[in-house]
């Protein structure tokens, strides 16, 4: 740049990008020298929120200033996620500016002070969230203010509509379009990877988007990703569904209810799942995906997400009322949430369970199969013209004669090619300390073992549980095997298991 | 390092520090290469929370991983605040480890779900906050869950005690020890810098710690810092008070109620001030400072922090009840919060007002003087054995005969030396658009002009308001002058002032 060009660039707050290679996970950060003319003229300091624009794209990022010679006076850098969001490359120019005041925060404050939010207020908040204008602190305040039963039905309806409205929408030109959702909390509950091929093989349309893990060791998208690509854009997703009748893709890649994916980022460290937020999260995705009929599986158990029949009834009622208000037909299906489903907990290990069921291996976990057949049957009854009570039989036949397995392979291939789930390099087995009968399994702490072993970020990690409730065991008999990609993670998981021998409680024989 | 030494260091998760010079403001961040053996063995990824230990000090920091060659496989770096907290230097070794699970978060979740917190629960939360174990997301959730009137009196008492208990405590061996606090929201209300020298000159002990600005253009610590050092440790603070009877130091540097300073960091971006949090914040500082008698000034006005007599009564009642429970004698003093106090808004400009009052200049703002004399009088009556109704007269005499001015100089010198407040390089004046009478002043938007001009970070910036309520003005007469350290900030402040001509409302003559 000439001196004149440089002066003009500064006047317009234009900086040249240099890559430092700093990964802040999901948080967009922009780096500039504290002494650079732009920061000095604008009075920008560390933690200032800035608009960073690059061509047609712009994001809001938090400023970190550099105090040494890491960056020159005309240079800016970005955290890795910000490079990706902007589609920017080394040497590109970006323009920096003050963001407009975040007016919708007044609604968050109103909610903190127990006021009801109307449709316009909810929409304004969700629009700002989807546009990335809320910092983690703002998001945490919004999530907290909405938790603890502080949203009434109208507010949840408004939240559901707003979350669907601010993203893309799919339309299929025909009904029914079906979907399912399992309220989480039950490790290994990978029925989606069975229900979609069964229902699609039956002939229904099921455009399934799944999430990655929030607080669990694996989400369906994490498990599916170990056997096929799941990061498809909306066009690619539509092609798969039009060809095969169904898909299982990652919701985060197709801007269906994009605010949800942002909100989840703070729910994870807070470990808060509010009922209203949960209902809006689930139903906004279905609404945006163009679904008409949705079966919702609610596992109930003392260490599942829903802990009592009363809580299930309350959640079910809210789901039904909000569903009706936004035009979705909802069928609820409570299930036993006392223990993990299948053997595997962790992305690859859960995918292996699914493949065993589809391939009708004798070792396939029966509970996972039965749950999937039940849910697929509900969908087929609800939307497929099959009489009540006959759906499970139809679903079982589709699974039993190999049509579901053929369909999953076809779906995986349509999504970009099927592959084998990875295997962990390090394993270690936890054994029964004494003989007896398996009396209780703590899903939450068992999930914690799997997370300490590296799941879901390391897809091969997690654990295999061999002893469902009621199993008789001898001292020294394997209870579960921990899988890990790194020795440090294996050690952390085992240390936690060692400190918590009652994760799997063995009742002494009387 | 030899290969063997390097291998042992890795096994113990020891890394060598290299300075990158990244300023994240208050957030401790640790940087390591994603490919480094420690991250790979431990399974650590961006956003993992880690304990970083250096000698006797340890902090919890958020991991940002570097993906290029910014850091070598044995190197770690820190954000500037983390270097300072650890007292670490380039080339020092740090040990990295997993933090213990944050058990106290279960109490935050309980509060989100509307449960009452007992003393032990509140203490556990505050202890973890003071130790820096809460991320910004956790802090935001706690602040939000406690806002909107969700803390009862017992919870506020528990919060006050816990906040005082987890930090240092001062004891003076005699009573009374006096203090004052003004509930914020009124720009320019720098009475503390007058009350302390008056009361100390009278002979009472007043160990005043003040805060920096939270959401305002200047805190008392910011203003005081323009004429003397305020970052004193507890020992230095005690020496000043023992010598001069009073001090005005920054509360953030002396660990009196240290959790408060951390909580404030998220209250600022959220712009949430909960009544319970406010009372605990104010009273825990007084309790920790060893005070026995406290006068609390509550300015009331439509754009002050406390907007109505009802809100003032509610806050006053909570202050009195919690004060009594923790053993503090409280006297409340409501004042007019309709307009800014004095002329200056911004650290240096407010300090200038204070100096004019002390030096008895004819131009000194009368309102600031009168408020300070009133408050000092209340303290002298409450704790100094002066009959009711006579305190203000005694205070006025101490101000009028120069004893207060001599005392402030002595205090400044004891704190490290008195200096002149800085002057801004750039100023511009906003004029009346038409003739008339000043009818209304919007404190909040006027404060915003001062903040856009760079206050409080640039201490010389802010504004001088010439026209209090009721002033008659001609078209073109100066209303206020904006001061800024940089032309960009001056421009932003003026643009905002231009868009908001009704910040100062002029009623046309009828």
Same-domain check for residues A486 and A360:
no
Q: How far is CA A190 from the centre of its chain?
A: 13
Instruction: Give the residues of chain B that fall short of pLDDT 70.
Output: 1-11, 185, 509-510
Question: Is some CB atom of chain B closer than 8 A to the CB atom of A145?
Answer: yes
CB contact under 8 A, A147 and B20: no
Q: Is the pTM of this model over 0.80?
A: yes
Which residues face B462 on adjacent strands? B483
pLDDT score for A9? 53
Element (H, E) at A415: none
Same-domain check for residues B348 and B239:
yes
Asked if residues A396 and A201 have their Cβ atoms less than 8 Å apart, the reply is no
CB contact under 8 A, B141 and A144: yes
Same-domain check for residues A221 and A333:
yes
Asked if residues A51 and A98 have their Cβ atoms less than 8 Å apart, the reply is yes
What's the half-sphere exposure (Cβ side, CA atoms, 13 Å) at A420? 3
Same-domain check for residues B51 and B159:
no
Kindly state whether residue B172 falls inside one of the protein's structural domains: no
| Tokens 């809580």 found at | A311
Residue B500 sits in a domain of what CATH number? 3.90.1170.30
The backbone torsions φ and ψ at residue B202, rounded to the nearest 5 degrees and listed phi first, read -70, -25
Which is catalytic among the residues B128, B179, B261, B273?
Answer: B273
Using H for helix, E for strand and C for coil, what is the string for B435-500? CEEEEEECHHHHHHHHHHCCCCCCCCCEEEECCCCCCEECCCCEEEEEEECCHHHHHHHHHHHHHC
Report the C-alpha gap between A121 and A162 in whole angstroms. Answer: 10
Same-domain check for residues A15 and A150:
no
CB contact under 8 A, A67 and B21: yes
Report the C-alpha gap between A118 and B3 in whole angstroms. Answer: 65
Same-domain check for residues A343 and A453:
no
Asked if residues A357 and A365 have their Cβ atoms less than 8 Å apart, the reply is yes
Cα distances from A351 to residues A207, A221, A296, A420, in angstroms, run 19, 10, 21, 9
| Tokens 């070794």 found at | B93
pLDDT score for A1? 45
Question: Is some CB atom of chain B closer than 8 A to the CB atom of A114?
Answer: yes
Q: Which residues of A form the catalytic set?
A: 273
What tokens were used for A348? Answer: 């690859």
Could you say which of B388, B414, B440 is where a domain stops? B414
Question: Is some CB atom of chain B closer than 8 A to the CB atom of A133?
Answer: no
Kindly state whether residue B440 falls inside one of the protein's structural domains: yes
Question: What residues of B are in contact with residue A134 (Cβ under 8 Å)?
Answer: none
Cα distances from B479 to residues A359, B122, B177, B347, B461, in angstroms, run 82, 48, 42, 20, 17
By CB neighbour count within 10 A (0-12 exposed, 13-18 middle, 19+ buried), where does B72 fall?
middle
Kindly state whether residue B171 falls inside one of the protein's structural domains: no
Cα distances from B61 to residues B29, B30, B412, in angstroms, run 5, 6, 36
Same-domain check for residues A471 and A489:
yes
CA distance B28 to chain A (A): 12
Using H for helix, E for strand and C for coil, what is the string for B11-65? HCCEEEECCCCEECCCCCEEEEECCCHHHHHHCCCCCCEEEEEECCEEEEEEEEE
Question: Is some CB atom of chain B closer than 8 A to the CB atom of A100?
Answer: no
User: Which value does ipTM take for this structure?
Assistant: 0.81
CA distance B190 to chain A (A): 25
pLDDT score for A259? 92
Residue A210 sits in a domain of what CATH number? 3.40.1030.10
Report the C-alpha gap between A201 and A395 in whole angstroms. Answer: 9
Report the C-alpha gap between A68 and A71 in whole angstroms. Answer: 8
pLDDT score for A3? 53
Kindly state whether residue B260 falls inside one of the protein's structural domains: no
Question: Is some CB atom of chain B closer than 8 A to the CB atom of A499?
Answer: no
Task: Return residues 341-380 of B near A (CB < 8 Å).
Answer: none
Question: Is some CB atom of chain B closer than 8 A to the CB atom of A486?
Answer: yes
Closest residue by Cα to residue B336 from B362, B370, B360: B370
Same-domain check for residues A344 and A276:
yes
pLDDT score for B7? 52
Same-domain check for residues A191 and A117:
no
Same-domain check for residues A360 and A434:
no
CA distance B188 to chain A (A): 22
Cα distances from B296 to residues B178, B212, B304, in angstroms, run 11, 18, 15
Average pLDDT, chain A: 92
Cis peptide before B456 (omega within 30 of 0): yes
Kindly state whether residue A482 falls inside one of the protein's structural domains: yes
Same-domain check for residues B343 and B462:
no
Question: What residues of B are in contact with residue A79 (Cβ under 8 Å)?
Answer: 64
Kindly state whether residue B419 falls inside one of the protein's structural domains: no
Q: Which domain holds residue B242?
A: 178-254+271-414
The backbone torsions φ and ψ at residue B478, rounded to the nearest 5 degrees and listed phi first, read -60, 130
pLDDT score for B232? 96
Asked if residues B110 and B72 have their Cβ atoms less than 8 Å apart, the reply is no
Instruction: Give the residues of chain A that fall short of pLDDT 70.
Output: 1-11, 185, 509-510
Question: What residues of B are in contact with residue A70 (Cβ under 8 Å)?
Answer: 20-22
CB contact under 8 A, B47 and A40: no
Question: What residues of A are in contact with residue B217 (Cβ under 8 Å)?
Answer: none
Question: What residues of B are in contact with residue A43 (Cβ under 8 Å)?
Answer: 454, 457-458, 484-486, 488-489, 492
pLDDT score for B396? 97
Question: What residues of A are in contact with residue B31 (Cβ under 8 Å)?
Answer: 22
- Domains identified in chain A, total number: 4
Task: Count other C-beta atoms under 10 Å from residue A427's C-beta.
Answer: 15
Q: Per-residue pLDDT tens for A162-218? A: 999 999 999 999 989 999 999 876 777 899 999 999 999 999 999 999 988 877 899
pLDDT score for A7? 52
Same-domain check for residues A377 and A308:
yes
pLDDT score for B8? 54
pLDDT score for A410? 98
Report the C-alpha gap between B197 and B208 in whole angstroms. Answer: 11
Q: Per-residue pLDDT tens for B383-399? A: 988 999 999 999 999 99
Task: Return residues 27-86 of B near A (CB < 8 Å).
Answer: 27, 31, 34, 40-43, 45-47, 64-70, 79-80
Element (H, E) at B318: helix B309-326
Task: Count other C-beta atoms under 10 Å from residue B329's C-beta.
Answer: 17
Asked if residues A402 and A198 have their Cβ atoms less than 8 Å apart, the reply is no
Which of A26, A112, A485 minimises the CB distance to B144?
Answer: A112
DSSP letter, residue A306: B
Could you say which of B97, B113, B129 is where a domain stops? B97
């Amino acid at each position: 740049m000439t001196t004149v060009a440089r002066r003009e660039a500064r006047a317009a707050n234009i900086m040249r990008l240099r890559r430092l290679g700093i990964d802040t996970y999901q948080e967009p950060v922009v780096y500039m020298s504290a002494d650079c003319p732009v920061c000095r003229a604008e009075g920008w300091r560390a933690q200032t929120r800035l608009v960073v624009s690059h061509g047609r794209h712009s994001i809001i990022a938090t400023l970190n200033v550099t105090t040494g010679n890491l960056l020159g006076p005309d240079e800016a850098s970005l955290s890795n996620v910000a490079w990706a969001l902007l589609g920017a490359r080394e040497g590109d120019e970006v323009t920096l500016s003050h963001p407009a005041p975040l007016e919708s925060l007044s609604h968050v404050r109103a909610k903190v002070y127990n006021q009801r939010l109307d449709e316009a207020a909810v929409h304004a908040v969700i629009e700002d969230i989807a546009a990335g204008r809320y910092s983690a602190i703002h998001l945490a305040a919004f999530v907290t203010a909405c938790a603890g039963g502080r949203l009434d039905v109208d507010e949840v309806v408004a939240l559901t509509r707003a979350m669907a409205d601010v993203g893309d929408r799919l339309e299929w030109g025909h009904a029914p379009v079906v979907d399912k959702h399992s309220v989480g909390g039950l490790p290994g509950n990978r029925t989606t990877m069975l229900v979609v091929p069964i229902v699609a093989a039956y002939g229904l349309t099921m455009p399934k988007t799944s999430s990655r893990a929030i607080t669990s060791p694996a989400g369906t998208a994490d498990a599916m990703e170990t056997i096929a690509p799941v990061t498809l854009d909306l066009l690619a997703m539509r092609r798969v569904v039009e060809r095969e009748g169904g898909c299982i893709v990652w919701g985060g890649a197709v801007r269906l209810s994009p605010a949800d994916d942002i909100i989840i980022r703070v729910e994870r460290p807070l470990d808060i799942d509010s009922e209203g937020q949960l209902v809006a999260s689930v139903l906004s995705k279905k609404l945006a995906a163009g679904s008409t009929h949705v079966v919702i599986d609610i596992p109930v158990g003392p260490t599942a997400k829903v802990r009592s029949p009363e809580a299930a009834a309350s959640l079910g009622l809210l789901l039904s009322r909000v569903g009706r208000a936004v035009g979705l037909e909802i069928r609820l299906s409570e299930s036993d949430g006392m223990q993990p489903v299948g053997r595997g907990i962790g992305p690859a290990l859960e995918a292996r369970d699914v493949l065993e069921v589809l391939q009708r291996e004798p070792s396939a976990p029966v509970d996972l199969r039965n749950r999937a057949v039940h849910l697929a049957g509900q969908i087929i009854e609800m939307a497929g013209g099959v009489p009540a009570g006959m759906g499970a039989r139809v679903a079982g036949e589709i699974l039993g004669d190999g049509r579901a397995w053929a369909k999953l392979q076809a779906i995986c291939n349509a999504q970009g090619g099927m592959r084998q789930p990875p295997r962990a390099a390090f394993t270690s087995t936890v054994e029964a300390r004494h003989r007896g009968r398996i009396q209780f399994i703590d899903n939450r702490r068992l999930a914690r073992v799997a997370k300490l072993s590296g799941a879901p970020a390391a897809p091969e990690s997690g654990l295999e549980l061999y002893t469902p409730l009621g199993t008789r065991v001898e001292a020294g008999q394997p209870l579960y095997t921990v899988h890990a990609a790194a020795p440090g993670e294996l050690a952390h998981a085992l240390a936690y298991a060692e400190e918590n021998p009652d994760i799997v409680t063995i009742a002494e024989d009387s």
